[in-house]
């Protein structure tokens, strides 16, 4: 918990820094804009809770029209199940006795729990555990170019779908990918080939799940997909601006920081380091975008200090005590560092929400 | 809290991954070795709690002979003050009404609280707040080459020491630096020049505080320093091995992970991503050292996945379900991601300690 106890009604400029804050109206706009796009294209939309980890925001996404949510870990899914979410897709290979036991308990409570698998080893483990109990729905994860998890070919996807279909305790739920951004044609080609193979064997494939915020507005270019998953769109960040998904004004999260030192003319030190901004570069050469000084470069972070290079700033420069706003490179990882998230509208705190799933890596 | 509730006596290989664990004996060896060095050279040793954020470890460091502790933020200092620590140095420029009010409250409770400042602005703020109340001890932060905070020259240090000495509510406590590693001669030259200037004006300088784990065993080459601060030495990490401070066997923190996918011959996916290892590279080109596969390269992290390149591994390769141990690049930032730290000896959990100061960025 934030021991400084911010409360609704507080003026933003009185909050002790460093602190991430969320603009209510920008966030609401992001939720509405993306849901409208999905509705227009008749794509089921499944927000990934990893970006916010906040129950109230998942509720707002559901109220806007989202169908189900996406979690990455069982412990996250448990938190959202406790809050009343039923249609939860855990996009992870679940292995190990303790995790599978928790998964079985969760499956008993929910009517639409789903997981993914990309290997015979994972499917075997699930099949053994669920044999004789309420069946678990398993989707096959497909590597359509993302280069992380996933079976490598449509033929491999068919083989794993077969194994799931034959396992007594499992139900084949469909195909899922975490794609390389901006690769709609490649994803579509991969999925349609896999779907042909499944059709030829008479294996029904209810869900084809595509994903990603950077390529979100190209979701309709993957007609084989029945649903799209995305997380970052709800807050947006510097990397989404670079990807062309949003403008800087559509970034709902700002990190409020204070200049604590100006040791030289060209160097300012801010009170946000890697414990606030994280070290995620995502291809950038510095650690965030300072709205008030767009030419300033956050060139280094230690845990509690950010070192800002001002040498490219032509106008006036920040002074000790100045408060600045930073658009972070990557918003999801910032959420994971704070127990509470502060929301605001026209300069005043509106609410403080627990980041309920912070730190849930299991 | 870890919802999987590990407990003393559990076998390490039953812990749900990913999870950082601390070897009790390695940690105790690190504490003893460094304290013995400091004792031998009659240097007061002030551990930085940022690495562990655990009260019980600070107590072990004190029991071994440490004099006082180092915190970076007031909220950290509050936690350790509540646990009975009195000699606390907060190495930070404290600015802003709320933080200064908390600092004043803390100063009332402790007999040996100290902070640092590197500008007239910071000193002015403290001087105004502490005028008429129990004086606050302020050290001048000196940039001896580290390139972060700090006055730039010994003459600037003198000027700030003068300002502190003249302020009714402040006491000049000495000089402090966060140095560039391996720069003993430069630090000594900087400090001795500043000390000459202070002596010439009759300003006593009780503390000269040097710091850093990489250069810890060169602390005696800075004879002007009265104390040394260090954090990382207690756990050690991959960057400390590279710096020559320790061997890989002296790294007390391992991250236990599981291989969850092997999509290609050369690619394995582990269940630790940036939410466990953090994205801190510290000059490395990958995200940690896998003890069982020293030639494997953790080439990319997403939040819950680590992508491991096995192409340089000549022998057998990890399989799905295998458990691996990782020495992280940077241990302090891992501590900040977990509510509890698990300790072990000969394969069994010995205790679970709250990471009391996790997330305390204020």
Task: State pLDDT tens for residues B324-352.
Answer: 999 999 999 999 999 999 999 999 999 99
Other Cβ atoms less than 10 A from the Cβ of A155: the count is 11
Residue B3: per-residue pLDDT: 84
Query: Which parts of B217-354 fold into alpha helices (H)?
Result: 238-242, 274-277, 331-335
A103 Cβ contact partners less than 8 Å away, ≥ 6 residues apart: A74, A90, A94, A113, A115, A126, A129, A136
Domain B41-235 has CATH 3.20.20.10: yes
Distances (CA, A) of A283 to A180, A306, B284, B317: 15, 18, 16, 30
| Rounded Cα gap, residues A235 and A223, in angstroms | 27
Report DSSP state, residue B208: E
Q: What is the ipTM of this complex?
A: 0.97
Among B125, B262, B339, beta carbon nearest to A359: B339
In this model, does residue B37 exceed pLDDT 80? yes
Among A93, A95, A320, beta carbon nearest to B119: A320
| Rounded Cα gap, residues A89 and A114, in angstroms | 5
Judging by DSSP bridges, how do beta strands B340-345 and B69-71 pair with one another? unpaired
DSSP A199-261: HHTT----EEEEE-STTGGGGGG-TT-SEEEESGGGT--HHHHHTTSS-GGG--EEEEEEEEE
| Rounded Cα gap, residues B194 and B175, in angstroms | 9
Residues 117-156 of B with CB under 8 A from A: 118-119, 121-122, 125, 143, 147-152
Kindly list the domain boundaries of chain B, sorted by start residue. 12-20+246-354, 41-235
Spell out the per-residue pLDDT of chain A, length 362, in tens: 788 889 999 999 999 999 999 999 999 999 999 999 999 999 999 999 999 999 999 999 999 999 999 999 999 999 999 999 999 999 999 999 999 999 999 999 999 999 999 999 999 999 999 999 999 999 999 999 999 999 999 999 999 999 999 999 999 999 999 999 889 999 999 999 999 999 999 999 999 999 999 989 999 999 999 999 999 999 999 999 999 999 999 999 999 999 999 999 999 999 999 999 999 999 999 999 999 999 999 999 999 999 999 999 998 999 999 999 999 999 999 999 999 999 999 999 999 999 999 999 99
Residue B4: per-residue pLDDT: 81
B55-64 and B24-40 are packed helices; what angle lies between their axes, rounded to 10 degrees?
40
Q: Do A267 and B150 touch (CB under 8 A)?
A: no
- The answer to whether B7 and A87 are in contact (CB under 8 A) is no
Q: What sign has the CA pseudo-torsion B319, B324, B329, B331?
A: positive
Task: State pLDDT tens for residues B131-175.
Answer: 999 999 999 999 999 999 999 999 999 999 999 999 999 999 999
Task: State pLDDT tens for residues A165-186.
Answer: 999 999 999 999 999 988 999 9
| Rounded Cα gap, residues A290 and A326, in angstroms | 4
A14 touches B: beta carbon within 8 Å:
yes
| Rounded Cα gap, residues A117 and A139, in angstroms | 6
Q: What sign has the CA pseudo-torsion A48, A352, B279, A258?
A: positive
C-alpha B268, offset from chain centre? 32
- CATH fold of A12-20+246-354 reads Lyase, Ornithine Decarboxylase; Chain A, domain 1 (2.40.37)
Chain B contact set for A272 (CB, 8 A): 361
In this model, does residue B220 exceed pLDDT 80? yes
Domain A41-234 has CATH 3.20.20.10: yes
| Rounded Cα gap, residues A272 and A304, in angstroms | 6
- The answer to whether B104 and B123 are in contact (CB under 8 A) is no
B4 touches A: beta carbon within 8 Å:
yes
């Amino acid at each position: 918990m934030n021991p400084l106890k911010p409360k609704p009604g507080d003026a933003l400029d009185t909050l002790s820094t460093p602190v991430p804050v969320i603009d209510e109206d920008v966030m609401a706009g992001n939720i509405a804009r993306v849901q409208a796009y999905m509705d227009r294209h008749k794509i089921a939309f499944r927000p990934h809770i990893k970006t916010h980890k906040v129950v109230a925001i998942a509720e707002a996404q559901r109220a806007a029209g989202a169908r189900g949510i996406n979690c990455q870990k069982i412990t996250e899914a448990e938190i959202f199940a406790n809050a009343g979410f039923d249609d939860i897709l855990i996009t992870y290979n679940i292995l190990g006795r303790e995790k599978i036991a928790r998964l079985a308990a969760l499956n008993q409570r929910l009517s639409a729990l789903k997981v993914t698998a990309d290997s015979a080893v994972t499917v075997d483990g699930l099949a053994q555990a669920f044999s004789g109990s309420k069946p678990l729905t398993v989707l096959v994860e497909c590597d359509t170019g993302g280069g992380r998890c996933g079976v490598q070919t449509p033929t491999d996807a068919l083989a794993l779908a077969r194994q799931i279909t034959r396992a007594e305790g499992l139900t084949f739920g469909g195909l899922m990918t975490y794609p390389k951004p901006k690769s709609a044609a490649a994803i579509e080609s991969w999925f349609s080939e896999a779907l042909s193979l499944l059709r030829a064997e008479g294996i029904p494939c209810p869900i084809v799940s595509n994903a990603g915020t950077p390529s979100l507005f190209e979701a309709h270019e993957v007609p084989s997909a029945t649903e799209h998953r995305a997380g970052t769109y709800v807050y947006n960040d510097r990397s989404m601006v670079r990807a062309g998904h949003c403008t800087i004004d559509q970034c709902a999260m700002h990190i409020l920081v204070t200049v604590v030192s100006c040791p030289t003319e060209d160097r300012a030190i801010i009170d946000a380091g890697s414990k606030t901004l994280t070290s995620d570069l995502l291809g950038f050469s510095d650690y965030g975008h300072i709205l008030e000084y767009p030419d300033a470069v956050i060139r280094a972070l230690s845990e509690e200090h950010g070192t800002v290079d001002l040498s490219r700033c032509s106008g006036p420069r920040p002074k000790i005590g100045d408060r600045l706003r930073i658009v972070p490179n990557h918003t999801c990882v910032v959420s994971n560092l704070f127990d509470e998230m502060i929301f605001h509208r026209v300069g005043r705190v509106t609410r403080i929400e627990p980041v309920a799933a912070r730190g849930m890596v299991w």
